Amino acid sequence: MQLEIICTGDEVLTGKTINTNFSYMSQKLSDVGLSVRWETTVGDDRESLLQAFQLASQRADAVIVNGGLGPTIDDLSQEVAAQAAGVELVLNDEWLVRMEDFFRRRSRTMPPNNKKQAMLPVTAEVIDNPIGTACGFALDIGKARFFFTPGVPRELRRMLEEQIIPRLLAKSGLQAIIHLKRFHSYGLGESHVDTLLTGVEALVPDGSVKLGFRAHYPQLETKLTARGADMDDIRRKLEVVELEVRKRLGNFILGEDDQTLEGVVLAELAGRQATLSIVEMFTGGQISARVAHLPGAERIFRRGIVARDLAEVCAAVNLGSAAPEGELTQTAEAVARAALRLTSSTHALAVLIDLDQGADRIEFGGTICLAVATAGKVESRRSRILGGREWVRLGAVELGLDCLRRYLQGLPVYERTDFEKA
Amino acid sequence: MQLEIICTGDEVLTGKTINTNFSYMSQKLSDVGLSVRWETTVGDDRESLLQAFQLASQRADAVIVNGGLGPTIDDLSQEVAAQAAGVELVLNDEWLVRMEDFFRRRSRTMPPNNKKQAMLPVTAEVIDNPIGTACGFALDIGKARFFFTPGVPRELRRMLEEQIIPRLLAKSGLQAIIHLKRFHSYGLGESHVDTLLTGVEALVPDGSVKLGFRAHYPQLETKLTARGADMDDIRRKLEVVELEVRKRLGNFILGEDDQTLEGVVLAELAGRQATLSIVEMFTGGQISARVAHLPGAERIFRRGIVARDLAEVCAAVNLGSAAPEGELTQTAEAVARAALRLTSSTHALAVLIDLDQGADRIEFGGTICLAVATAGKVESRRSRILGGREWVRLGAVELGLDCLRRYLQGLPVYERTDFEKA
């Protein structure tokens, strides 16, 4: 079944409102195996609306239209729907009563312009909106079934889940289910992972598992989209590919599906009733900020210490106020150990950075020296990242958290990433 | 000029990624007087892309295509662009050299599949991307000029502002110059500011100054779009309106144009050769993270201290390890004073939060008590914010920084905001 979505409204078209209704709908639909093929956004403009309805009716079997069911003159969906279907707009007495009742229950009188919301195309099937005055409806335009939904997010959500998805599933007949499996990694670039995973799709010969990526530096998401008759079929198909992806990407996989790096770190710490302190410099508090606010972190995150100057970092953990001589990696180890003593936490992470001098530029870099300390043990790692201030900062935050994850999971803290200079 | 945008990529079409690139582009374009008429989202699918390009080429004069310029097999934009324009795809030697150079400067070898990014339609005009390997380009498809842009937001932003908008303005032949004046405020909601500014547009009777807003909680941007024959004409028209906006929004204006709250705070501190320490709780390091990384902050930002537990906060600033009795506002004052002593900085900001118990929900709130201390003086403020964990956290970060701004600018630290419960 070809499925499209049309989003309407000047607010969305001008970018004033970020179109979260669309991403919500598309995700919800794909969760039940219905994939959206095409999305169109047009403004509160009669001609564009008509054209969008007509084009979608030629391509799709089903179309969800969002917005334009309100009481004001710029809400045009019912009117243009009737025009596109070539039918009359008539007053729906039942919906009018529902609306008057809606206002009465809130001790208000219905303003006259709300009556417009009960004007529906004569062939329309009413789709209930139990929490608002915008009347949902469905009708055929050309070969496609159109579903009209309100722009108010909570009204849309309820209508989509309770009313529209069941109708779409019925209309689609027995369709294959689709499932998305995700792996999150840090340290390997998209093209590198693409090369590493050459051939994994072919492990399922019928082509029902597709490989894709979403790069959001410093992390990369590797996606397997699987089609099957049911979830058992999908699990069977995915199993062999998942194993292979885990094998090839190895320690670089920091989490799967809804897991986050900071969530994995927190769970590892929670599992051993540990407490954590973090010392940072140029990352300016961002490493702490990823962990400290999470639900449950109040029992685990003990102290965050930030300073831009190395002597100040040392002073802050009672290491004396003079910047120490020698290797920054050794200093990071000393700082992590000192933080452990100062805060009485079981784990300490220190991420120190020796930043390049001068103005920001693409070759601007930093040398990151980090250490993770526990009672009897300290591990450290040195890394040089180039790519501008922001790039170095983002990279250092991720590297710090990922090395902590590796430490907690018993993996090597040092493993070369694609983002660093040798 | 009819302008359209086509967003490509399975991650956007499936709703996994919220389409913020579109809202960013549409707003940026309307800021310079170019309005988007139609938006289409299609996946990484050859047939849909071709159809989307063809339809847009029939309707529009100019089309911006976002995404699909990456190195992997699911990136199809160049290939389908060539097909739609009926021209060959050829290797652009100059861009290949640029890419190899890009990798070399990062001490990396270009993976072979990146070569794909230098394959361009033979009629394409290269549009520079100084910060990435995805090559922007423009070419004619049918009657429309198409501009192809990368999906990576920072690359898109730079390309749109520096390369594409000037070309679109030239193409549109807009005689008048358009200038955007912006005010950033914290503490007043959009409808409140809208009411406060009733009638300011009318101060320029010819209608050449338009008022608009962009709300991105916790800040609000108030925009004046002015049209004129030249910049002198615009400045003359704007002057009277700007004065009125400043008068009506008063102390709530935290900055104008490219100013940021953290930048204003840092400049105030730099101007008096001051140093700053920040103590925070549930904000988890996010207040420090806004200031500490900025260029120049290495001389000003002295220390950041984060703890989730009040006793731990007090211990961290040598106030004794037991949580003090009494008012949290008084504790905030004591903590700010203690931080001043501990770090020998000239200014200290303490933002303490008493967070509600239980699961996250829309009524979930927190009581924020903050204090700003200098050698002889301390000012404090209490505020209750509701709206869920994330909302409280964002609000507390902004409130903390804004109260520090007010303190530094000699304005009252307490002024009731629209976001707090009485």
Q: What's the CATH code of the domain at A193?
A: 3.30.70.2860
Distance in angstroms (rounded) separating the CA atoms of residues B332 and B378: 10
Asked if B304 and A309 come within 8 Å (Cβ–Cβ), the reply is no
Show residues of chain B in contact with A389, CB under 8 Å.
293, 295
Asked whether residue B8 falls in the same domain as residue B151, the answer is yes
Give residue-wise pLDDT tens across range B239-262.
999 999 999 999 999 999 999 999
CB B151 within 8 A of CB B69: yes
Instruction: Say if B40 is an interface residue toward chain A (CB within 8 Å).
Output: yes
Give residue-wise pLDDT tens across range A316-341.
999 976 667 779 999 999 999 999 99
Q: Which of B207, B228, B256 is a domain's end point?
A: B256
Quote the pLDDT of residue B381. Answer: 96
Asked if A13 and B30 come within 8 Å (Cβ–Cβ), the reply is no
Q: Global pTM? A: 0.80
Show residues of chain B in contact with A214, CB under 8 Å.
11, 16-17
Picking from B44, B38, B101, the residue whose alpha carbon sits closest to that of residue B67 is B44
Asked whether residue A352 falls in the same domain as residue A392, the answer is yes
Kindly provide the b/e burial profile for residues B175-193, where b requires at least 16 CB atoms within 10 angstroms of the residue's own CB. Answer: eebbbebbbbbbbbebeeb
Asked whether residue A273 falls in the same domain as residue A230, the answer is no
Asked whether residue A7 falls in the same domain as residue A93, the answer is yes
- Shortest distance between the Cα of A157 and any Cα of chain B, in A, equals 15
Q: How far is CA B306 from CA A335, B229, B313, B368, in A?
A: 17, 53, 7, 15
H-only helix segments in A272-419: 286-291, 310-316, 328-343, 389-408
Asked whether residue A288 falls in the same domain as residue A270, the answer is yes
- Shortest distance between the Cα of B250 and any Cα of chain A, in A, equals 25
Distance in angstroms (rounded) separating the CA atoms of residues A70 and A99: 12
B74-113 residues touching A, CB cutoff 8 A: 74, 105-108, 111, 113
Q: Which residue has the tokens 């912006």?
A: B182
Number of domains observed in the structure of chain B: 3
B362-421 residues touching A, CB cutoff 8 A: 389, 393
Asked if B292 and A298 come within 8 Å (Cβ–Cβ), the reply is no
- Shortest distance between the Cα of A97 and any Cα of chain B, in A, equals 32
Report the number of secondary-structure helices (H) and strands (E) in chain A.
14, 18
Compute the half-sphere exposure of residue B255: CA atoms within 13 Å on the CB side of its CA. 17
User: β-strand B420-421 against B377-386: which pairing, if any?
Assistant: antiparallel
- Closest alpha carbon within chain A to B14: A26
Give residue-wise pLDDT tens across range B51-66.
999 999 999 999 999 9
Asked whether residue A65 falls in the same domain as residue A122, the answer is yes
Picking from B240, B65, B220, B23, the residue whose alpha carbon sits closest to that of residue B150 is B65
Compute the half-sphere exposure of residue A85: CA atoms within 13 Å on the CB side of its CA. 22
Q: How far is CA B102 from CA A12, B95, B131, B135, in A?
A: 37, 10, 9, 12
Q: Is the pLDDT of residue A177 over 80?
A: no
Give residue-wise pLDDT tens across range B131-186.
999 999 999 999 999 999 999 999 999 999 999 999 998 898 776 677 889 999 99
Picking from A29, A153, A23, A394, the residue whose alpha carbon sits closest to that of residue B20 is A23
Q: What's the CATH code of the domain at A296?
A: 3.90.950.20
Task: Burial-class residue A337 by CB neighbours within 10 Å (0-12, 13-18, 19+).
Answer: buried
Distance in angstroms (rounded) separating the CA atoms of residues B25 and B155: 12
Asked whether residue A149 falls in the same domain as residue A221, the answer is no
CB A361 within 8 A of CB A386: no
Q: What average pLDDT does this structure show over A101-120?
A: 87
Instruction: Say if A48 is an interface residue toward chain B (CB within 8 Å).
Output: yes
Quote the pLDDT of residue B416. Answer: 92
Q: Which domain holds residue A381?
A: 261-421
- Best of A13, A47, A266 to substitute, by most chain B Cβ atoms within 10 angstroms, is A13
Asked whether residue A134 falls in the same domain as residue A202, the answer is no
A111-150 residues touching B, CB cutoff 8 A: none
Q: How far is CA A8 from CA A16, A53, A221, B363, in A?
A: 13, 11, 31, 31
**Mean pLDDT score of chain B:** 93
Identity of the residue in A18, A304, A307 whose CB atom sits nearest the CB atom of B285: A304
Asked if A19 and B16 come within 8 Å (Cβ–Cβ), the reply is no
Asked whether residue B265 falls in the same domain as residue B379, the answer is yes
Distance in angstroms (rounded) separating the CA atoms of residues B310 and B328: 10
Q: Which of A196, A227, A256 is a domain's end point?
A: A256
What are the structure tokens assigned to B85, written together?
A: 């324009």
Asked whether residue B160 falls in the same domain as residue B214, the answer is no
Asked whether residue A246 falls in the same domain as residue A310, the answer is no
User: Quick check: helix, strand or coil at residue A287?
Assistant: helix
Q: What's the CATH code of the domain at B155?
A: 3.40.980.10
Q: Is the pLDDT of residue A391 over 60?
A: yes
Question: Which one has a higher pLDDT value, B419 or B401?
Answer: B401
Asked whether residue A18 falls in the same domain as residue A153, the answer is yes
Residue A55: left if φ>0, alpha if ψ -120 to 50, beta else—which one?
alpha
For A391, phi then psi, to 5°, come to: -65, -45
Q: Which of B256, B273, B299 is a domain's end point?
A: B256
